[in-house]
């Protein structure tokens, strides 16, 4: 994309807070989520899952199940028709249905489609799987040892040294300068190790889909997903289908946060449908969501930072070891790239390790890999500031990356907003508010890349002057409202005259998954361009009606009007008037834009957290919390605030309570919301937000993605706050009451 897309302007719709167009559907129950979709003759599909963390599958006998009343299809991995050549897709297939080994507790090994849930459950109980139980490994540092149980052989990528096990798939190094020289220049050097637990996105809606697939290879899939084009392409590759023969329609989505950027049930449902000749619906239980979808990586991180007495960081090193579950992922790499990204450093070195273990494959969780890295880096910066008697915001301002800074991951930054968030935090009343007994205040910064990707938008001008807009990304953060607002802004009509829908895969070209904080940036850009395309056509129609050149017509306030002294005198023609005579002037009017929207702007945020620690129990209470983030331009500020609040709350849960707990046998012990505790409203104060607007030069309105950065700082902000309240540095998440109490007793 051109780097000078942004043009300063005054907005009439963008920046306001209209009611969300999907609000009534959602509060009345009319919105249809994945499990709300049904079809005549539909069967229930269910999955048999491994009870072992690591086991060789010696045999599977499905004969009894297949003969049971009501059972219409039974499949195992042997029924899948192709082995994808692409390693990534092959891993997705193996994660959907185990082949020779079960790699984690909950790994699918067989599936049944039956006329009822009861019949399916009864059939699953008769399937005989003979396992040879193998040693397992769950911890990243243990998995890297040469004598660790090995999940896959021969998957080490170039650059991984010989003195670590085959569980280490990638090693990535970034940085510049020579940290050893920098450490010699420091007045104080602190080196610490940090641990974080695996957590789950905790989306309200479990994975669900309804599949039909005929013997002719024609199919339909209705699915709760962050990317229906991804679902189509992946299922087609796994099942050997032509992607054009598979139409995928996304349902409403009850949260994703990165956890619905891949497929888990969909290929199985399609195959069961093809084998049974009936539609098949599959819905995960909450236990299945925990055991067999995609949580985050757990980590072990070493950070070393040197600082002078005036607060200048002289050198920084990070070693980021992430376990990504049973298959390749790049959370450790992203941790290594993002940890020091907020700072202007002469000497920095980071190494990221991506390691497999006997856990479900890690998925993204907003900014994948970044929150854990920020926790470790920001904790050491806080400790340095504390021990040197410096203000922690001033220290960050002193070292903050700015336009022209060579980032820790390589590129030189264009205009960025970190400094603005820090200054806003420093001047906010929260920063100077008094604290009570056993209370502490923490601050932390965070960074995320954001990106764009393939995007298509169609905008139809209807005969009555209303506008229908189709986008290809599930509405996960209010995008229908945001797109309607941007289209209305360009067209010069009220937002209520534009209805945005999410089109299926047969209606628009390829669209990237709803991830990377991309939708308001990329789909918004395409919406603006599609509206401008329609305006161009409407200007031509008006010019034709008036008998003048299109160049002599301009679009102002929702109407075509003559421009210039030679255009003649004609009353303006509104969008509705041009639409009404479209059949007379050439036919229907629509605008389109298809693009790979590259060049998204990076994003920074700063969070302040106040906590109170109960010295008797170790329980931590969030007293006050404020988020400062650069949004470029907030299209609908309420949605932006919601994203910032949501990220903060999820980060607070990650910091204080949430954790995958495994038994000695490698099985998950807390696969439910009673034992895996996410924060609820009564746990939290109102999360305050401050939106900064430093325009992204790569977007016509200056928009930056906002969905992911909000989860990056809170782990560290809360840890810094608790550490100051408790008087002891907390280095392991979650900071659950027993852990805090133990730390207090060690003082």
Q: Which is nearer to another protein, 406 or 532 (CB)?
A: 406
β strands within 428-477, DSSP E: 439-448, 453-461, 467-471
Q: Which is nearer to another protein, 149 or 369 (CB)?
A: 369
The β-bridge relationship of strands 467-471 and 453-461 is antiparallel
If phi > 0 it is left, if psi is from -120 to 50 it is alpha, else beta; for residue 230 that is alpha
- Minimum CB separation of residue 576 from another protein in Å reads 37
3-state secondary structure of 607: strand
- Minimum CB separation of residue 109 from another protein in Å reads 28
For residues 5 and 414, the answer to whether their CB atoms sit within 8 Å is no
User: CA end-to-end span of the chain, whole Å?
Assistant: 56
Q: Which is nearer to another protein, 279 or 339 (CB)?
A: 339
Q: Which is nearer to another protein, 55 or 418 (CB)?
A: 418
Q: How far is CA 256 from CA 204, 381, 489, 631, in A?
A: 9, 32, 29, 21
- Minimum CB separation of residue 416 from another protein in Å reads 9
Q: Which is nearer to another protein, 261 or 268 (CB)?
A: 261
What does the binding site for another protein look like in residue numbers (CB under 8 A)? 3, 157-159, 171-175, 257-259, 261, 330, 333-334, 337, 349, 351, 363-368, 409-414, 448-451, 453, 515-518, 596, 598-601, 698, 708
As a whole number of angstroms, the distance between CA 405 and CA 412 comes to 5
- Minimum CB separation of residue 516 from another protein in Å reads 3
- 201-212: b (≥16 Cβ within 10 Å) or e: bbbebbbbbbbb
3-state secondary structure of 474: coil
As a whole number of angstroms, the distance between CA 301 and CA 332 comes to 10
Q: Which of 614, 631, 617, 622 shows the shortest CA–CA distance to 699?
A: 631
Q: Which is nearer to another protein, 88 or 214 (CB)?
A: 88
For residues 368 and 320, the answer to whether their CB atoms sit within 8 Å is no
Q: Which is nearer to another protein, 403 or 549 (CB)?
A: 403
Q: What is the CA radius of gyration of the chain?
A: 27
Q: How far is CA 506 from CA 39, 244, 459, 469, in A?
A: 20, 7, 16, 15
Q: Which of 693, 366, 704, 690 shows the shortest CA–CA distance to 524?
A: 704
- Minimum CB separation of residue 24 from another protein in Å reads 29
As a whole number of angstroms, the distance between CA 522 and CA 632 comes to 13
Q: Which is nearer to another protein, 167 or 407 (CB)?
A: 407
- Minimum CB separation of residue 411 from another protein in Å reads 4
- Minimum CB separation of residue 162 from another protein in Å reads 14
Q: Which is nearer to another protein, 84 or 698 (CB)?
A: 698
Q: Which is nearer to another protein, 580 or 595 (CB)?
A: 595
Q: Which is nearer to another protein, 87 or 285 (CB)?
A: 87
> Is the bond preceding 734 in cis, omega lying within 30 degrees of 0?
yes
The 10 Å Cβ neighbour count of residue 176 is 15
As a whole number of angstroms, the distance between CA 357 and CA 343 comes to 32
Enter the DSSP assignment of 343.
B
- Minimum CB separation of residue 149 from another protein in Å reads 26
- Minimum CB separation of residue 234 from another protein in Å reads 15
3-state secondary structure of 700: coil
Helices vs. strands in the chain: H and E counts, helices first:
21, 26
- Minimum CB separation of residue 652 from another protein in Å reads 18
Spatial neighbors of 12 by CB under 8 A, at least 6 apart, are: 489
What DSSP string runs through 42-53?
PEEEEEEE-SSS
Q: Which is nearer to another protein, 472 or 601 (CB)?
A: 601
- Chain centroid to CA 47: 26
For residues 639 and 481, the answer to whether their CB atoms sit within 8 Å is yes
- Minimum CB separation of residue 707 from another protein in Å reads 8
Q: Which is nearer to another protein, 337 or 733 (CB)?
A: 337
For residues 736 and 617, the answer to whether their CB atoms sit within 8 Å is no
Phi, psi of 2, deg, nearest 5 = -60, 150
- Minimum CB separation of residue 193 from another protein in Å reads 22
3-state secondary structure of 226: coil
Q: Which is nearer to another protein, 354 or 382 (CB)?
A: 354
Q: Which is nearer to another protein, 183 or 365 (CB)?
A: 365
The 10 Å Cβ neighbour count of residue 231 is 27
If phi > 0 it is left, if psi is from -120 to 50 it is alpha, else beta; for residue 573 that is beta
Residues in the chain: 747
- Minimum CB separation of residue 406 from another protein in Å reads 9
Q: Given CA atoms 204, 23, 625, 611 in this order, what sign does their dihedral have?
A: negative
As a whole number of angstroms, the distance between CA 327 and CA 357 comes to 8
As a whole number of angstroms, the distance between CA 237 and CA 239 comes to 6
Beta bridge partners of 283: 208
- Minimum CB separation of residue 38 from another protein in Å reads 30
Q: Which is nearer to another protein, 54 or 366 (CB)?
A: 366
Q: Which is nearer to another protein, 220 or 658 (CB)?
A: 658
For residues 514 and 455, the answer to whether their CB atoms sit within 8 Å is no
- Minimum CB separation of residue 715 from another protein in Å reads 15
- Minimum CB separation of residue 255 from another protein in Å reads 12
- Minimum CB separation of residue 256 from another protein in Å reads 8
């Amino acid at each position: 994309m051109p780097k000078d897309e942004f043009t300063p302007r005054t907005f009439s719709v963008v920046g306001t807070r209209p009611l969300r167009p999907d609000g009534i559907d959602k509060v009345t129950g009319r919105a249809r989520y994945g499990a709300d979709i049904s079809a005549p003759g539909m069967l229930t599909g269910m999955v048999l899952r491994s009870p072992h963390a690591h086991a060789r599958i010696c045999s599977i006998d499905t004969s009894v199940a297949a003969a049971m009343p009501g059972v219409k299809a039974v499949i195992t991995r042997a029924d899948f028709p192709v082995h994808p050549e692409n390693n990534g897709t092959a891993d997705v297939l193996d994660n959907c249905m185990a082949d020779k080994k079960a790699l984690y507790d909950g790994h699918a090994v067989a599936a049944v489609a039956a006329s009822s849930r009861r019949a399916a459950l009864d059939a699953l109980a008769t399937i005989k799987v003979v396992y040879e139980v193998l040693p397992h490994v769950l911890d990243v540092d243990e998995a890297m040892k040469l004598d660790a149980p090995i999940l896959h052989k021969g998957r080490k990528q170039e650059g991984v040294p010989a003195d670590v096990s085959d569980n280490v798939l990638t090693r990535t190094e970034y940085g510049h300068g020579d940290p050893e020289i920098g450490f010699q220049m420091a007045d104080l050097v602190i080196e610490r190790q940090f641990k974080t637990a695996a957590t789950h996105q905790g989306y309200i809606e479990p994975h669900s889909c309804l599949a039909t697939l005929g013997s002719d290879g024609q199919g339909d899939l209705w699915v709760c997903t962050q990317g229906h084009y991804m679902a189509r392409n992946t299922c087609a590759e796994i099942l050997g289908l032509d992607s054009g023969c598979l139409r995928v329609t996304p349902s409403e989505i009850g949260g994703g946060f990165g956890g619905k950027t891949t497929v888990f049930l969909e290929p199985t449902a399609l195959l069961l449908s093809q084998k049974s000749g009936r539609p098949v619906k599959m819905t995960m239980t909450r236990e299945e969501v925990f055991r067999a979808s995609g949580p985050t990586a757990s980590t072990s991180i070493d950070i070393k930072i040197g600082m002078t007495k005036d607060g200048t960081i002289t050198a920084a090193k990070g070693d980021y070891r992430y376990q990504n579950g049973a298959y390749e992922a790049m959370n450790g790499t992203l941790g290594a790239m993002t940890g020091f990204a907020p700072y202007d450093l002469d000497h920095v070195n980071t190494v990221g390790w991506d390691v497999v273990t006997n856990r479900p494959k890690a998925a993204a969780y907003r900014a994948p890999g970044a929150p854990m890295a920020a926790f470790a880096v920001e904790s050491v910066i806080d400790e340095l500031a504390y021990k040197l008697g410096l203000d922690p915001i001033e220290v960050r301002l002193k070292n903050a990356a700015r336009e022209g800074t060579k980032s820790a991951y390589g590129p030189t930054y264009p205009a960025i907003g970190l400094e603005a968030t820090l200054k806003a935090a420093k001047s906010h009343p929260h920063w100077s508010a008094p604290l009570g007994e056993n209370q502490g205040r923490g601050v932390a910064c965070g960074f995320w890349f954001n990106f764009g990707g393939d995007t298509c938008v169609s905008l139809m001008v209807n005969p009555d002057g209303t506008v229908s807009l189709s986008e290809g990304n599930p509405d996960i953060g209010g995008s229908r409202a945001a797109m309607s607002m941007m289209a209305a802004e360009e067209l010069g009509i009220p937002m209520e005259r534009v209805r945005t829908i999410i089109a299926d895969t047969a209606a628009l070209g390829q669209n990237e998954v709803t991830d990377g904080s991309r939708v308001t940036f990329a789909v918004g850009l395409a919406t603006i361009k599609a509206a401008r395309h329609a305006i161009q056509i409407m200007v031509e129609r008006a010019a034709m009606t008036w008998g003048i050149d299109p160049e002599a017509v301009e679009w102002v306030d929702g109407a075509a009007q003559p421009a210039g002294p030679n255009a003649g005198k004609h009353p303006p023609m509104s969008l509705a008037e041009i639409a009404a005579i479209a059949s007379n002037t050439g036919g229907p009017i629509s605008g389109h834009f298809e693009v790979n929207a590259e060049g998204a702007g990076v994003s920074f945020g700063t969070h302040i957290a106040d906590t109170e620690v109960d010295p008797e129990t170790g329980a931590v209470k969030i007293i006050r919390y404020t988020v400062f983030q650069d949004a470029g331009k907030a299209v609908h500020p309420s949605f932006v605030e919601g994203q910032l609040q949501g990220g903060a709350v999820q980060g607070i849960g990650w910091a204080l309570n949430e954790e995958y707990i495994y038994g000695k046998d490698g099985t998950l012990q807390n696969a439910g919301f009673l034992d895996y505790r996410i924060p609820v409203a009564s746990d939290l104060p109102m999360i305050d937000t401050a939106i900064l607007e430093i325009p992204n030069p790569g977007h016509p309105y200056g928009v930056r993605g906002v969905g992911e950065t909000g989860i990056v700082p809170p782990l560290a902000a809360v840890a810094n706050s608790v550490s100051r309240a408790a008087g002891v540095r907390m280095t392991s998440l979650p900071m659950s009451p027993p852990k805090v109490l133990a730390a207090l007793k060690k003082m």
